[in-house]
């Protein structure tokens, strides 16, 4: 991020005509960013709370770019008149909500409550100790009315042993049983088939997953790390 951000500051020098029409201004800004940073594509560009600046999202990374594409800043934007609201965090959550359409379209491995009060997506790695701990407590999550949709996220990448285990789980006749056995460090049969593990991994990166487990709520909040069922239920109830 720091490398391309420096590039953006240095290279944003070509003129961009001021336009009254916001949509046209955004398209001009998008074209300018493509010219300066061809290897990065903004996922969204919108007006920001700061006059003269636009909010640009690269995945869940939010930066602010001046309307003439000359200046950029990266950091936390706080509204002191609205309870010190972290507007950058709000923007990142909104981006995740947009990505939820992609997340929900992915086939997952589900556990937990059959008639849930809450549904979460958890990015999980088979060999991650806290992922294993969370899975051991799945009955507790179910007792609090939480349904878990697992997406497989081999944290060491798509060439790692963890990826091969994830593929074997996915290609098993009973994926839920295979995942439970694998997380209990029991052997499962090596298998291969067409699978969406790379898509799971890619969408995890886009929503900001950097480690496992990572819990994504339906309102776009990303909670990194293990949470006991009671604690997660309390957080989800507060958002209801």
Please give the residue that has the higher pLDDT: either 67 or 169: 169
Rounded Cα–Cα distance for residues 37 and 61 (Å): 15
Looking at residue 145, its pLDDT comes to 96
Q: pLDDT tens, 81-94? A: 888 899 998 888 88
40 falls in which pLDDT band (50, 70, 90)?
Answer: confident
User: Contact 105/151 with Cβ under 8 angstroms?
Assistant: no
Q: How many CB atoms lie within 10 A of CB 208?
A: 17
Looking at residue 21, its pLDDT comes to 59
Looking at residue 37, its pLDDT comes to 78
Rounded Cα–Cα distance for residues 57 and 22 (Å): 17
The residue-averaged pLDDT of 92-104 equals: 81
Phi and psi angles of residue 2, each rounded to the nearest 5 degrees, phi first: -60, -35
- Residues 6 or more apart whose Cβ sits within 8 Å of residue 25: 18, 19, 54, 67
> Over 70: is that where the pLDDT of 8 sits?
no
Phi and psi angles of residue 192, each rounded to the nearest 5 degrees, phi first: -135, 150
Question: How many whole angstroms from its chain centre is CA 53?
Answer: 25
Question: How many whole angstroms from its chain centre is CA 21?
Answer: 32
Identify the DSSP state of 75.
Answer: S
Grouping H, G, I as helix, E, B as strand and the rest as coil, residue 229 is helix
> Over 90: is that where the pLDDT of 19 sits?
no
The DSSP line for 164-208 is HHHHHHHTSSSHHHHHHHHHTT-----------HHHHHHHHHHTT
Q: pLDDT tens, 134-159? A: 999 999 999 999 999 999 999 999 99
Calculate the alpha carbon distances from 61 to 193, 209, 215 in Å: 34, 12, 18
Q: Where are the domains of the chain?
A: 2-78, 107-239
Looking at 2.60.40, 3.30.70, 3.40.50, 3.10.450, the CATH number of the domain 2-78 comes to: 3.10.450
Looking at domain 107-239, which CATH architecture does it have? 3-Layer(aba) Sandwich (3.40)
Percent of the chain with pLDDT over 70: 91
Rounded Cα–Cα distance for residues 59 and 72 (Å): 17
């Amino acid at each position: 991020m720091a490398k391309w951000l420096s590039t953006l500051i240095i290279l944003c020098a070509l003129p961009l005509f001021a336009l009254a029409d916001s949509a046209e201004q955004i398209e001009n800004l998008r074209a300018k960013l493509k010219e300066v940073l061809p290897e990065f594509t903004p996922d969204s560009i919108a007006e920001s709370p700061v006059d003269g600046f636009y909010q640009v999202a690269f995945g869940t990374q939010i930066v602010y770019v001046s309307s003439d594409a000359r200046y950029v800043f990266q950091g936390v934007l706080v509204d002191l008149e609205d309870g010190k609201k972290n507007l950058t965090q709000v923007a990142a959550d909104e981006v995740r909500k947009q990505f939820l359409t992609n997340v929900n379209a992915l086939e997952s491995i589900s556990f937990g409550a059959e008639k849930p009060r809450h549904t979460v997506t958890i990015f999980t790695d088979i060999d991650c100790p806290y992922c294993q701990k969370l899975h051991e407590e799945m009955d507790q999550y179910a007792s609090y009315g939480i349904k878990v949709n697992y997406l497989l996220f081999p944290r060491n990448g798509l060439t790692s042993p963890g990826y091969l285990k994830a593929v074997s789980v996915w290609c098993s006749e009973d994926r839920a049983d295979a995942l439970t056995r694998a997380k209990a460090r029991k052997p499962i049969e090596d298998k291969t088939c067409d699978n969406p593990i790379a898509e799971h991994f890619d969408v995890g990166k886009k929503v900001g997953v950097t480690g496992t487990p990572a819990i994504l709520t339906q309102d776009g909040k990303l909670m990194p790390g293990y949470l006991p069922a009671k604690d997660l239920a309390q957080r989800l109830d507060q958002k209801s």
